[in-house]
Amino acid sequence: MAPQELRLQRISEHLTIGSTNCSRCCPTADLSAASGDTEPRQPRSSTRSSSAVTRPEVGAAAELRVAAVQISGYDKGDLPHPGYDPVEQLLPYIQRAGRDGVDLVVFPEYVLGHIAVPGPSTQLIAAAAKAAGVYIIVGCWEVAGDRLLNTALLFDRAGAIAGKYHKTHAAVDSMDESQPPWTAPPAGKSREWLLENDPEWVMERGQDLPVFVLEDIGLRVGILTCYDGWFPEPARELSLRGAEIIVWINGRGGSVEDFIVQTTMFQSHVAMIATNQAYGAGTMIGGNRAESDVSEEFLPAVSS
């Protein structure tokens, strides 16, 4: 993998992001072949090349190396399958990231499925984060009693859950056509039907857009989940709250929209890391700089 560098510099209260020695795209990485692992690689999964993100400070510089992983686990309407734990698919990527000196590994939306937080799945990821010495962002359906939240979890290098982001914009697929559009779920459907067919009618929507600090590096990260990224205001609010990097996790068919990524980077003065499940496409790492053509800094994804 050939790393790229995205250099972040503050000007007054704003942030401009530039890059040096960026290629336009990076090859898909075959984890098994690259690492010498004998276990077969999970089908239809790929990882984007690590990127180094540098934010100069007065008298010091901070560098963040990131890896975005395009992989499938649980999907939007999947309920737990006995004997299936997608964490096992994620662990080799976390281990590889540790060997490659990556600081932050980003996985897609939904991928852990319906889990308790904390619980057995988060304990496994926490142990892997601590062993590899990496930060991890990963999506799940967080189950807390009768509450269901579309959650992005942030693990720190010590394996602690350092933060959560709850999706704020529900991506619903059906509606009660007797009501104003998209204001009510389809009539006569049970909670069980909705959980399997249109669960974001059931989910508890997030009410905040937090910014997380990677403490040992000092970089500030905001998170958006899938449909959140289709609106300009969430990214703008994160930028105004000080986010320098926005992580956009997705779980959908088709491709994450490159024009949304480019526009968000340009308008909100942030770098972006986007992931998607492997049945889709568009996993990418990108930055912009105000004084150059934004397209020069965009790194398109390689679909699996």
Active site residues: 109, 167, 226
Q: Is 292 helix (H, G, I), strand (E, B) or coil?
A: coil
Q: What token pair was written down for 199?
A: 């669960």
| Rounded Cα gap, residues 78 and 141, in angstroms | 10
> What is the separation of C-alpha 142 from the centre of its chain, rounded to a whole number of angstroms?
16
Half-sphere exposure in the Cβ direction for 236 (13 Å, CA)? 6
Q: What token pair was written down for 252?
A: 């959908």
Q: Is 264 helix (H, G, I), strand (E, B) or coil?
A: helix
Local structure of residue 179 (DSSP, 8 states): S
Neighbours of 133 (CB within 10 A): 14
Name the E strands within 21-111: 46-47, 51-57, 60-70, 104-106
Nearest to 247 by CA among 14, 255, 234, 259: 234
On the question of a cis peptide bond just before residue 3, with omega within 30 degrees of 0, the verdict is no
Q: What token pair was written down for 279?
A: 């049945």
**Site of tokens 């709250």:** 241
Nearest to 244 by CA among 62, 15, 5: 15
Whether 249 and 137 have beta carbons less than 8 Å apart is answered as yes
- Residue 223 bridge partners (DSSP): 247
